[in-house]
Amino acid sequence: MFAKLARDRFAWLVLPAGILILAVFAYPVFWLLVRSFSDPSWGLQNYETVFAKVIYLKVLWNTVAIAGATTIGALLLGFPMAYSMVHAPPLMRKLLVFVVLIPFWTSILVRTFAWMVLLQPNGLLNDMLIGIGFIETPAKFMFNRTGVLIGMIQIMLPFMVFPLFSVMTRIDHAYVQAAANLGATPVKGFLRVYLPLCLPGIVTGSMLVFIISLGYFITPALLGGRKDVMIAQLIQQQISDFGNWGLSSALAVVLLIGTGLIFAVVHKVFKVGPDARF
Amino acid sequence: MKKTKLTNVHEAKDQISADGGLSRRALLQSAGALGFLGATGSLTSLAFAEDLKGREMAFASWGGSYQEAQKVAYCDPFSEATGVEVIQDGPMNGAKLRAMVEAGDPVWDVVDVTDIFLFANAQDGLFEKIDTSIVDTSRVDPKFVHEYGIGCIVWSYNVGYNTDAFPGDDHPKNWADVFDLKKYPGTRTLRDRVYPTLEQALLADGVSPDALYPLDVDRAFAKLDTIKDDVIWWTSNSQSQQLFTDGAAACGLILNGRAYDVVKNGGPVNISWDQNIQSVDYLSIPKGAKNADVAQHFMNYMTEAQNQAKMANIIAYSPVNPDAFPMIDEAVKPWLSTNPDNAAKGFVINSDYWRENLTPLTERWNEWKLS
């Protein structure tokens, strides 16, 4: 690959991006890697802590579970959304794209606080539900896993919708019509023809949402309860309260390797990755 | 009286700019002739006004209504008196501060730190020594003077409650009440941090303040088990204010100054002083700060009685300079931790204990939260 790149006379175009990535990504990651083995002294002690203490594995599991549930939720909401965007008349489509994009431009902190206003015990949602007599006492929409997922799914939705949208616009509708012509019921046509064609978008969107969710921090801290601790919160606590770079780096490295493994497996199974057709 | 003092400072400053050639020595003499200036402590800031003009200094604190109050009480008057431009930054973050100092290029010149953070990091050379030839430490209660920092405020963790949930006299008054879900039903809010949560639990379980340390950790966690599913754990002070104001929490833990801030804005909150747990915030200068000299003068200015009083009048955090009390509004005095009545009902958190046990107990705390 490098030999080919060297022969290519446009190879220098990669240089600025390459240097940037080296400086702001590769170097810090390398530094983290080193510190996870060297801080406070050389050895595996930080990794021993991560794998020997129940707390870190529990939090790692929490992180994967929350990111997984967010991905499924975003897919269930994002798929119909993307589908209607593709099949809407041009003006409506523009409006829908806009609707998905607006929250994307707002800071995550602001959006999380907006959810707090809506979801709290005497917030808008509970007032409304009590007002119409649907419930009598305020439902617990936040300070628990429900709150974390509501907030995260909404924040992650654009990362699911746009890859799906981009794949769906390129699907020739004639395939589905051909399936119908050949006697497939709408459900069968959808499941056997349309859905497989969407797969690259589904995989790309899911990977994006899952991987970004793994590093989440603000939303679980504000909307979650006692048990909704994600790995990024522990890393922050270790660095900011204790200056424990060694353990934080080990946690970050475990997260990075875990993410890489998941990415590799998906790539192998589906033969697609976030780069495919995005 | 206060007004006269300030006017004179300005007059003297005008004189400097008017004839330009006035030497510091001449200025000191004239200030000495004015007599009372020296006694009020304005002398130092005045004498160096010439040197500091045009300089700048970055001040990092904890944001929100607290930093806003510090800006008005310490920074703005300092700028006005000396011509130093004070840049507000933050929020204070231990890791950021440590990284800055390690890199040898701190962008902050004065940082507001907790007592535990100061004590834990002073030996590692994270801070500049306080220059007592510039900072007049004699006017500060010696309890709050450290080699590497000067106390700026005393504050306390108090039992707080929503006055809509408990309108009458029958409201939670101490930590035992906060842990009693039958007597005072409703959601609680406590700080998502191992201290002072363990202290609260032990006090609620009947341990007396003088028998608290070293903490009986197992007993504290067992007591916390009894309310763990009825607690919202707040991570920032602004969040605690919000939870009490909205009524999302009926009672729990709030800092005295934050409660005062809510009440001043008409929020339905009140606090009890029984078993209040006091703590101190320090101002310190990061090692290698570019404007450390300016920072030393700022520290001195901060401890002046009138500035300390101004701070207390805005946010009800207690002064470290006892001379400030006569200048504090009567309405604010009941809210102050170092007010003798309130101080008698509480105790100061043991920073030495926490410096040594914070890391292992935080790990235990995290485990408990997930259990």
β-partners of residue B85 are B56
List residues bridging with B164 in a β-sheet.
Answer: none
Q: Report residue B164's pLDDT band, with 50, 70 and 90 as the boundaries.
A: very high
pLDDT, averaged across chain A: 88
For residues A236 and B366, the answer to whether their CB atoms sit within 8 Å is no
CA dist., res. B106 & res. B124, Å (int): 15
Distance of alpha carbon A120 from alpha carbon B242, whole angstroms: 11
Q: Assign B1 a pLDDT band (cuts: 50, 70, 90).
A: very low
Q: Is residue A236 part of a domain?
A: yes
Is the CB of residue A151 less than 8 Å from the CB of residue A223?
yes
**Confidence tier at B40 by pLDDT (50, 70, 90):** very low
Domains along the sequence of chain B with CATH? 2-153+281-327 (3.40.190.10), 155-279+345-370 (3.40.190.10)
Residues 172-211 of A with CB under 8 A from B: none
Q: Would A200 be classed as within a structural domain?
A: yes
| CB-based contact, A227 to chain B, within 8 Å | yes
Assess if residue A206 is contained within a domain. yes
Six token digits for residue A184? 């497939």
Which is more confidently placed, B16 or A273?
A273
- CB contacts < 8 A, A to B, total 56
B166, containing H or E segment: none
The reply to whether B363 touches chain A by the CB within 8 Å rule is: yes
Compute φ and ψ for B86, nearest 5 degrees: -100, 120
A5, part of any domain:
no
Which among B221, B240, B370, B371 is the top mutation candidate for probing chain A, defined by the most A β-carbons within 10 Å of its own β-carbon? B370
pLDDT tens for A67-94 read 999 999 999 999 999 999 999 999 999 9
Query: Would you say residue A42 lies in a domain?
Result: no
Per-residue burial over A39-71, b if 16 or more Cβ lie within 10 Å, else e, is beeeeebbbebbeeeebbebbbebbbebbebbb
Grouping H, G, I as helix, E, B as strand and the rest as coil, residue B88 is strand
Which is more confident, B206 or B247?
A: B206
The pLDDT, as a whole number, for residue B141 is 86
Number of domains in chain A: 1
CATH number assigned to the domain comprising residue A186:
1.10.3720.10
Listed by number, the residues of chain B in 187-246 with a beta carbon closer than 8 Å to a beta carbon of chain A are: 187, 228, 231-233, 235, 239, 242, 246
Q: Give the residue numbers spanning the domain of A224.
A: 54-270
- Provide the pLDDT for residue A2: 58
Q: Are B248 and B188 in contact (CB under 8 A)?
A: no
Asked if residue B310 has pLDDT above 90, the reply is yes
Q: Is B105 on the interface with A (CB under 8 A)?
A: no
| CA–CA separation, A268 and A262 (whole Å) | 10
Q: What is the pLDDT of residues B48-79, one digit of tens each?
A: 555 788 899 999 999 888 899 999 999 999 99
- Residue A98 belongs to some domain of the structure: yes
CB B209 within 8 A of CB B275: yes
Q: pLDDT averaged over chain B?
A: 86
* Residues B59, B70 contacting (CB under 8 angstroms): yes
Is A218 among the domain residues?
yes
Has residue B223 got a pLDDT over 90? Answer: yes
C-beta of residue B232 within 8 angstroms of C-beta of residue B187: yes
Distance to chain A for B102, nearest Cα, Å: 12
